[in-house]
């Protein structure tokens, strides 16, 4: 058994300071030390550090341009894919995966998209 003067961390990594720490100190008469993790740096601090390192290499970069954008932003390519899946699911045969062969499912996707494009051409 360890001497009571030596620090020992059985519950250490997460910053736990509950009943387990108290129990180990009282029942086992151990000196328990809680090890705290260092907090993650913020995005602003990381951007500033990166800009400093690039400045050492001779590249001047505005660190505020490295920050992630605030708020919700629609991604155009994702929007196109989601709309396409929505249009395909509006057709009865392509809404579920009923077909036995992949080529049959593929041909129904072609038929559904052809129907969609013909509908758009009619409106023009």
Domains of the chain, by residue range, sit at 1-37, 41-70, 76-123
List, in order, residues 6 or more apart from 12 with CB less than 8 Å away: 33, 34, 35
What per-residue confidence (pLDDT) applies to 17? 61
Q: How far apart are CA 7 and CA 29, in angstroms?
A: 11
Helix (H, G, I), strand (E, B) or coil at 8: strand
What per-residue confidence (pLDDT) applies to 114? 92
pLDDT digits (tens, 9 = 90+) for 40-55: 777 888 888 888 888 8
57 with 38: CB under 8 angstroms?
no
Spacing of C-alpha 65 from chain mean position? 21
What per-residue confidence (pLDDT) applies to 16? 59
Q: How many CB atoms lie under 10 A from the CB of residue 32? A: 19
Residue ranges of the chain whose pLDDT lies below 50 = 1-2, 9, 11-13
């Amino acid at each position: 058994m360890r001497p009571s003067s030596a620090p020992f961390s059985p519950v250490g990594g997460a910053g736990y300071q509950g009943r387990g720490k108290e129990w180990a100190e009282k029942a086992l008469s151990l000196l328990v030390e809680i090890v705290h993790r260092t907090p993650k740096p913020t995005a602003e601090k990381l951007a500033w550090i990166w800009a400093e390192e690039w400045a050492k290499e001779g590249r001047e970069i505005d660190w505020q341009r490295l920050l992630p954008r605030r708020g919700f932003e629609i991604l155009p390519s994702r929007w196109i894919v989601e709309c396409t899946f929505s249009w395909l699911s509006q057709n009865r045969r392509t809404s579920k995966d009923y077909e036995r062969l992949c080529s049959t499912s593929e041909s129904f996707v072609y038929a559904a998209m052809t129907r969609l494009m013909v509908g758009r051409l009619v409106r023009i």
